[in-house]
């Protein structure tokens, strides 16, 4: 199992320093909650770990793999900046991701786990509520059964049942030796998830 290393990560946006010299190590079974108010760089931090944004300085790597950045197959990213294809059904969205990764998938079972009904699964995503779209986003991040979950505001727009599902999936993931970086600005969630915390403050 891999270990995530984040070393001396720095990032600024339009002359404003979001974070600098940020270092973090995540071992199997661990989670870190990234907290802070809007615009403090939580999402940017997760995007950098996902390889979607280049940092100004620093390095993200998996120890056992020895790669300069985490290989894509180790990551499961879900954030408000990644939407499912509206014209495709939830099943088609997950199958698309699985085929791109060259993996087999039981999309119906995964969506069932996320609490999407059989009828909804066969309807194009454009007819979904925002909560249902969020469930598809989260399901998409689980397609490759990744070692590292990067969830940006995972419970946003979810009802109580959806929040419970997120908690169950996260617990199962960590018990299986997975790792998670979760960004939120919801104080209830920060308290509920516990564990280590990195706080991004206003500068």
Partner 1 sequence: MKSDAGAAGASTSATVSRWLDCAAVVFTKELRVELRTRYALSAVALFAVITVIMVSAVLVGASVRADVKAALVWIILLFAALSGLSRVFVREEEAGTAAILRLTAPPSSVFAGKLLFNLALIGVVELVSVPLFLLLMPVEKLQLGLLMVILTAGGAGLASAATFTAALIAHAASGKSALYPIISFPVLMPLALIAVQATVGAFDAIPIHILRAWNDVGVLGAYAIVMTTASFLLFEYVWHE
Restricting to residues 36-65, which ones interact with partner 1 according to CB under 8 A? 50-54
Specify which residues 151 forms β-bridges with: 78, 182
Q: Would you count residue 100 as binding partner 1 (CB under 8 A)?
A: yes
The Cβ of residue 17 has, within 10 Å, a number of other Cβ atoms equal to: 12
* Binds partner 1 by CB under 8 A, chosen from 35, 140, 155, 184: 140
In the complex, least distance from residue 81 CB atom to partner 1, rounded to whole angstroms: 6
Which structure tokens are listed for 24?
Answer: 């973090």
The nearer residue to partner 1, 39 or 71, going by C-beta atoms, is 71
The nearer residue to partner 1, 81 or 168, going by C-beta atoms, is 81
The nearer residue to partner 1, 89 or 155, going by C-beta atoms, is 89
Pairing assessment for the beta strands 4-13 and 148-152 based on DSSP bridges = unpaired
Q: Would you count residue 131 as binding partner 1 (CB under 8 A)?
A: no
Q: Would you count residue 97 as binding partner 1 (CB under 8 A)?
A: yes
Q: Would you count residue 82 as binding partner 1 (CB under 8 A)?
A: yes
Residue pair 100/140 in contact (Cβ under 8 Å)? The answer is no
Size of the residue set binding partner 1 (CB under 8 A) = 26
* Binds partner 1 by CB under 8 A, chosen from 19, 62, 77, 128: 77
Which structure tokens are listed for 52?
Answer: 């979607």
98-118: buried (b, 16+ CB within 10 Å) or exposed (e) per residue?
Answer: beeeeeebebeebbebbbbee
The Cβ of residue 51 has, within 10 Å, a number of other Cβ atoms equal to: 15
Restricting to residues 169-188, which ones interact with partner 1 according to CB under 8 A? none
């Amino acid at each position: 199992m891999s270990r995530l290393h984040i070393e001396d990560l720095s990032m600024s946006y339009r002359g404003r320093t979001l974070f600098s010299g940020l270092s973090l190590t995540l071992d199997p079974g661990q989670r870190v909650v990234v907290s802070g108010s809007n615009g403090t760089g939580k999402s940017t931090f997760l995007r950098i770990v996902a390889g979607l944004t280049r940092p100004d300085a620093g390095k993200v790597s998996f120890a056992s793999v020895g790669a300069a950045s985490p290989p894509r197959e180790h990551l499961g990213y879900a954030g408000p900046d990644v939407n499912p294809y509206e014209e495709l059904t939830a099943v088609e969205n997950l199958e698309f991701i699985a085929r791109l990764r060259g993996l087999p998938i039981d999309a119906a079972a995964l969506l069932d786990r996320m609490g999407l009904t059989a009828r909804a699964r066969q309807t194009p995503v454009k007819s979904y509520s925002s909560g249902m779209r969020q469930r598809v986003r989260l399901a998409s991040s689980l397609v490759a059964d990744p070692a590292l979950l990067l969830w940006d505001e995972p419970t946003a727009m979810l009802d109580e049942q959806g929040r419970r599902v997120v908690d169950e999936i996260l617990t199962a993931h960590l018990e299986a030796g997975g790792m998670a970086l979760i960004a939120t600005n919801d104080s209830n969630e920060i308290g509920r998830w516990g564990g280590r915390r990195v706080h991004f403050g206003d500068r």
